[in-house]
Amino acid sequence: MTKTLRAHLITGGFPPGSNGGHDMDFARRQLLQQLGAQDHLAVTTANDYVDIERWLPGTNLLITYVAGPYPVGAGNAALQAWLEAGGKWLALHGTSGGKAVRAEHNGIPVKKMVKDAHHETLGCFFLNHPPIQAFDVAVTGDHPVTQGLPERFTVQDELYLIELTDPANSRILLATELAKDPSPPGFGFQFDEDTALQADGKTRALAYARPVGRGEIVYIGLGHCHEGREGSTSPVHPSVNADGSMPAEFNAVWESEDFTRLLQNGIAWGAQPR
Residues 248-269, buried b or exposed e (16+ Cβ, 10 A)?
A: eebbbbbebebbebbbbbbbbb
Burial class (CB in 10 A: 0-12, 13-18, 19+), 34: middle
Going along the chain from its start, the domains and CATH numbers come out as 5-270 (3.40.50.880)
- The pLDDT tens digits of the residues spanning 152-179 come to 999 999 999 999 999 999 999 999 999 9
- The pLDDT tens digits of the residues spanning 211-234 come to 999 999 999 999 999 999 888 889
How much is the mean pLDDT over the chain? 95
The answer to whether residue 270 scores a pLDDT higher than 70 is yes
Q: What is the pLDDT of residue 274?
A: 82
115 — pLDDT class (breaks 50, 70, 90): very high
Q: What is the pLDDT of residue 78?
A: 98
- The pLDDT tens digits of the residues spanning 80-92 come to 999 999 999 999 9
Q: What is the pLDDT of residue 233?
A: 85
Rounded to two decimals, what is the model's pTM?
0.97
